[in-house]
Amino acid sequence: DIQMTQSPSSLSASVGDRVTITCRASQSISSYLNWYQQTPGKAPKVLIYDASSLQSGVPSRFSGSGSGTDFTLTISSLQPEDFATYYCQQTYSTPWTFGQGTKVEIK
Amino acid sequence: QVQLQESGPGLVKPSQTLSLTCTVSGGSISSGSYYWSWIRQPAGKGLEWIGRIYTSGSTNYNPSLKSRGSISIDTSKNHFSLNLTSVTAADTAVYYCATEGGNSCLDYWGQGTLVTVSS
């Protein structure tokens, strides 16, 4: 299985901050990388697919980059509704695997 | 827009079979190029992909389930199902169903259903 490792596991930030979350794959996955946002008690919601494509309806402050083994999710200006847990997921080879999550908390 | 709703027992005894159904509305389960997927999440932990079924009936499973899982599709009822045999407490989780579309991302999700394995 392909292992996905996110860093950091948690971070504290303020509204308006620029936030960057990193995801590293245990082998090259080309651009087969998705990012999800999950708030407590809710199902995950896809933000970015294919490493850098913004899902329809997702605010443009979210962006993704990377290919191969190293990927980044950036929130350009953190909003109150962005405090959540973020997961990366590889869809290069089954079984699909997720990172362990990054919890973004209010500073 | 496709909507998904999980249903099934919230409590299952150890060694028994966990059975869940995901009912699809807002579209036909047999139309379009979708995979129909199951994902689970133990309390306070991360996401685990269980497996998926294509409209043709072909399936993929996570080997971590050690062949205990099976996913089926019923086009007449517009739903798909998960069976997980020989459950233990480690199978206690919120179970989600979701669609995987052409972008290979899980784009529509059910609200999730908590299944507890306990005697």
Asked if B105 lies within 8 A of A45 by C-beta distance, the reply is no
Spatial separation of the C-alpha atoms in residues B10 and B107, rounded to whole Å: 25
Q: What is the pLDDT of residue B104?
A: 87
HSE at residue B9, side-chain half, CA atoms within 13 A, is 13
CB-CB neighbors (< 8 A) of B100 in chain A: 91
Of the pLDDT bands very low, low, confident and very high (cuts 50, 70, 90), residue B56 is confident
Asked if B47 lies within 8 A of A49 by C-beta distance, the reply is no
Asked if A43 lies within 8 A of B111 by C-beta distance, the reply is yes
Using a 10 angstrom Cβ sphere, with 0-12 exposed, 13-18 middle and 19 or more buried, the burial of residue B28 is exposed
Spatial separation of the C-alpha atoms in residues A53 and A64, rounded to whole Å: 7
Spatial separation of the C-alpha atoms in residues A89 and B83, rounded to whole Å: 24
3-class DSSP state of B89: helix
Q: What is the pLDDT of residues B1-50, one digit of tens each?
A: 899 999 999 999 999 999 999 999 998 998 777 899 999 999 999 999 99
CB-CB neighbors (< 8 A) of A49 in chain B: 103-105, 107
Q: What is the pLDDT of residues A25-58, one digit of tens each?
A: 999 999 999 999 999 999 999 999 999 999 999 9
- Closest partner residue to B47 (CB to CB) among A1, A91, A98 is A98
Amino acid sitting at position A106: I
